[in-house]
Amino acid sequence: MHITTEALHRTSPVRRWLRQNATGLLFISPWLLGFLAFTVGPFFSSVYLSFNTYDLVHAPKWVGPKNYTTLLQKDPLFWSSMGVTVKYAVVSVPLGILVGVGLALLLNTKVRGQAVFRTIFFMPSIVPTVANAVVFMWILNPEIGLINGLLGMLNITGPSWLTDPHWALWSLVFMSLWGVGNSMVIYLAGLQDIPAHLYEAATVDGANAFQRMSRITLPLLTPVIFFNLIMGIIGSFQYFTEAYVMTKGGPDGSTSFYALYLFQRAWTYLDMGYACAMAWIVFVIVMVLTVIVFRSRRRWVHFGG
Amino acid sequence: MEGSALDKLKAVLGAILVVVVAAYLLPPPPPELHRKNRIPVIFWHAFSGEWFPIYDGMIQRFNESQDKFEVIGVVVPGEELTTKFLLSASGGATPDIILNWDPVLGMWSDKGLISPLDDIMSPAEKQEFLRRTYPIVKRNSMYRGKIMALVDGLDMFAVYYRAEDLKDVGVDEKHLPATLEDLVALGRKLDKRDGQGHLRRIGFLPKGIINLAPTFGGKFNDNGHIVADTPGDLAAMSFIGDANHFYSFDAVDRFTQSLAADAGPNMPLIAGNFSIMFDGEWRVKQVAQYQPDLPYYLAPMPPPKGGKPNASMSAPNYLMIPTAAKEKQGAWEFAKFCVGFLHPEDGGRNMGEMGWLPDDPEIAKAKSYLAYLRKYPKYKVFVDLMASPNLEIEPQGPLQGFATDQINKAEDAVSRGESTPEAALQKVMQQLSDEKKRLRDLGEPAE
């Protein structure tokens, strides 16, 4: 079993690589097996299933591209759910970045109790999504909710946040800010990575606070903003749990998100093939958007040295 | 030496890994049997919390009555039961029997997920089933001419009146409304608003077109075909729309969202949020449990002009035997025991303890069930309804889930005033037609 260098050279590169990495592969094999069986396998089988009708019980039946053509040409719910999702993404992603960066800037200032404030703002992001949703259902209740209670003290009648089609989507956007602590921590790390001497030099050169912010802080934070933008886009196209728990797609379809419609097709109507086609369409959209953002980074992301 | 020690370590680690992976991948051991030499029958249901000991007690009674089978009950959360079952069916490892209240009978039958009970029961049993079971139970049990499920608890709807509220406007049990129009007029008298004009009590608020439609002569199931635009459906939808416009949808929405709970000691009937409620039979036992001294009256929904008396929608709990079940005979024996088919005294006790309606008149006349009715005399209103010819069943077929969703969305649009009843129901029919066309294009059953 003792492997000499000469013997290693005689074997094929793949075998050599396997022998050299056998121990490492052995250690990660439980994860590797799980990944192959439960992620890679379903990933590729869903491509095949998207060209079939499949109800979980019977063998898939090949229908060619019909699922795709029906979705794109004959399914109004596909377009309306895509519209809701895009609307959510367009507003919630930039808003999340804005609030995340803003909070990080505030929490980066040296004040007493800084660590406590950071903990307070981070804590909501570790609350489970469903628990968050249930709490917000109460906060946003039009009659006995916290927000309308506060508005009532100002003699303002608050809207029916979750049951008025004009407000429901924006309520969910507002609620998404509750979990901004996660990205805030990353922005904070990014801020602390900015060399202090740059600020010192700028101050010596007479730059004011706004100039330091716009010429140093924000440009050097763009790699982190770039990362959170990509994650935000992916996350918003997968938005599901809050809408499933709080609004079930209502009122009047105003929160009928793409992932919710996909879930309904798959598990309520047992249209697994159709749902797989939906999943692949959204995958392609997210990939295209990611590529666009990646390509645009040369214009606005500053990687320091 | 170093290399050989490393090789040994690798071999040991490899062996441990193989054992761990094998332990993870091997099927779980069969559930433990409490009694030796019994054939296990795995039963999935969703009765947890306060219902669990009652339902589990019934399972134990069955097991004690047996010398061949032993039912092992597995509680699966209600909202996950359908998904979990579908996954088990795709893997060919279903339970032997399942109870589900989701509207799945048509879809599961069409997909071959459940066995026709005709193939499991004896010819004599089938004849007896067809002879003794209430017609509405039969309609709910059957799909495309086959008996696909037994009904273990059927929900029916009638009108609950809070006696104290009615007393304030001089109405007693002998003068309950005779028509729906009278009921609406009475309800309006019972509305209460605070100083700012906000609703604090609604006399009567109609809700749920699927449940209300039969009173107007409407239906959603026309000999196995889903319909949603009969004159009765339209009348029911208009009725719901009118009520929401009278109060304004926003006012109703705010009021209903402020209610504490749908069940438990703060449920609307007990809390007095509504004076008159069109609600299900389960409330009788709930009221007795949470506020036994609450005075109320109970009566079938009075018909509107041109409507139908003693009408109600029915919504069953289906007791089904999956096609992949390993122990179908044991499952069938248990199913019969649960619903009391050919076991009226057992059925009377089971149905009474759960607060359910009997599947056939023999159970309704069983001593055990009569004892339940003596304890909850108001419940008789629902038992009497069981024989009514004006009962309806929910949409069935491959599109039943889709249809139910679209009908509920249509009701929402009408309630908000965003659509007329005619347009909303026509849209449902159009959506159904489009969906059928899509399924046909894919070579799938659409009706």
**Average pLDDT across chain B, whole number:** 92
What is the predicted pLDDT for the residue at B1?
47
Q: How many other β-carbons are positioned within 10 Å of the β-carbon of residue B31?
A: 11
Chain-chain contact of B405 with A264 (C-beta, under 8 angstroms): yes
Chain-chain contact of B87 with A160 (C-beta, under 8 angstroms): no
- What pTM was computed for the model? 0.83
How close, in Å, is residue A78 to chain B by CA atoms?
Answer: 13
Q: Can you tell me the mean pLDDT for B385-394?
A: 96
pLDDT single digits (tens) B7-45? 888 888 888 888 888 777 776 655 556 677 899 999 999
Name the residue among A247, A249, A245 with its Cα closest to residue A262: A249
**Distance (Å, whole) CA A260 – CA A281:** 15
The DSSP bridge pattern shows strands B221-222 and B157-162 to be unpaired
- Of B21, B405, B438, nearest to A70 by CB-CB distance is B438
| pLDDT of B49 higher than 90 | no
Chain-chain contact of B434 with A74 (C-beta, under 8 angstroms): yes
Cβ contacts of A153 within 8 Å, gap of 6 or more:
none
**Distance (Å, whole) CA B250 – CA A69:** 40
What is the predicted pLDDT for the residue at B406?
94
| pLDDT of B101 higher than 80 | yes
pLDDT band at B79 (very low <50, low <70, confident <90, very high): confident
| pLDDT of B87 higher than 60 | yes
Cβ contacts of B35 within 8 Å, gap of 6 or more:
B63, B70
pLDDT higher for B4 or A223?
A223
Provide the angle, in degrees to the nearest 10, between the axes of the packed helices A66-74 and B421-441.
160
Mutate: best of B254, B406, B407, B441, partner A, most A CBs <10 A: B254
- Of A30, A53, A75, nearest to B442 by CB-CB distance is A53
Structure tokens, A208:
């004011």
3-state SS of chain B is CHHHHHHHHHHHHHHHHHHHHHHHHCCCCCCCCCCCCCEEEEEEECCCCCHHHHHHHHHHHHHHHCCCEEEEEEECCHHHHHHHHHHHHHCCCCCCEEEECCCCHHHHHHCCCECCHHHCCCHHHHHHHHHHCCHHHHHHHEECCEECCEEEEEECEEEEEEHHHHHHCCCCHHHCCCCHHHHHHHHHHHCEECCCCCEEEEEECCCCHHHHHHHHCCCCEECCEECCCCHHHHHHHHHHHHHHHHHCHHHHHHHHHCCCCCCCCCCHHHHCCEEEEEEECHHHHHHHHHCCCCCEEEECCCCCCCCCCCCEEEEEEEEECECCCCCHHHHHHHHHHHHCCCCHHHHHHHHHHHCCCCCCHHHHCCHHHHHHHHHCHHHHHHHHHCCCCCEEECCCCCCHHHHHHHHHHHHHHHHHCCCCHHHHHHHHHHHHHHHHHHHHHCCCCCC
**Distance (Å, whole) CA A249 – CA B166:** 38
Name every chain A residue with its beta carbon within 8 A of the beta carbon of B7.
Answer: 1
Chain-chain contact of A57 with B90 (C-beta, under 8 angstroms): yes
How close, in Å, is residue B3 to chain A by CA atoms?
Answer: 6
What is the predicted pLDDT for the residue at B29?
58
Residue of chain A whose alpha carbon sits nearest to that of B107? A269
| pLDDT of B306 higher than 80 | yes
Computed over its alpha carbons, how large is the radius of gyration of chain A?
25
pLDDT higher for B443 or B280?
B280
Q: What ipTM was predicted for this assembly?
A: 0.77
Burial classification of residue A190, based on how many CB atoms lie within 10 Å of its CB (0-12 exposed, 13-18 middle, 19 or more buried): buried
- CB contact, 8 Å: A3 with chain B? yes
Q: Can you tell me the mean pLDDT for B313-326?
A: 96
Name every chain B residue with its beta carbon within 8 A of the beta carbon of A165.
Answer: 416
- Of B3, B257, B441, nearest to A66 by CB-CB distance is B441
What is the predicted pLDDT for the residue at A6?
64
pLDDT single digits (tens) B145-188? 999 999 999 999 999 999 999 999 999 999 999 999 999 999 99
Cβ contacts of A216 within 8 Å, gap of 6 or more:
A194, A198, A199, A202
Q: Can you tell me the mean pLDDT for B200-227?
A: 93
Mutate: best of A1, A36, A67, A278, partner B, most B CBs <10 A: A1
pLDDT higher for B262 or A223?
A223
Burial classification of residue A297, based on how many CB atoms lie within 10 Å of its CB (0-12 exposed, 13-18 middle, 19 or more buried): middle
How close, in Å, is residue B77 to chain A by CA atoms?
Answer: 15
Name every chain A residue with its beta carbon within 8 A of the beta carbon of B13.
Answer: 26-27
Provide the angle, in degrees to the nearest 10, between the axes of the packed helices B231-247 and B400-416.
40
Per-residue pLDDT of chain A (305 residues; tens, 9 = 90+): 455 566 656 678 899 998 899 999 999 999 999 999 999 999 999 999 999 999 888 889 999 999 999 999 989 899 999 999 999 999 999 999 999 999 999 999 888 888 898 999 999 989 999 999 999 999 999 988 999 999 999 999 999 999 999 999 999 999 999 989 999 999 999 999 999 999 999 999 999 999 999 999 999 999 999 999 999 999 999 999 999 999 999 898 899 999 999 999 998 888 999 999 999 999 999 999 999 999 999 999 987 65
CA dihedral (B278, B280, B281, B287) positive or negative: negative
**Distance (Å, whole) CA B95 – CA B46:** 13
- Of B412, B441, B442, nearest to A251 by CB-CB distance is B412
What is the predicted pLDDT for the residue at A8?
56
Name every chain A residue with its beta carbon within 8 A of the beta carbon of B412.
Answer: 250-252
- CB contact, 8 Å: A268 with chain B? yes
What is the predicted pLDDT for the residue at B7?
81
**Distance (Å, whole) CA B160 – CA B282:** 12
Q: What is the identity of the amino acid at B161?
A: Y
Chain-chain contact of A269 with B401 (C-beta, under 8 angstroms): yes
Which one-letter DSSP state was computed for residue A60?
A: P
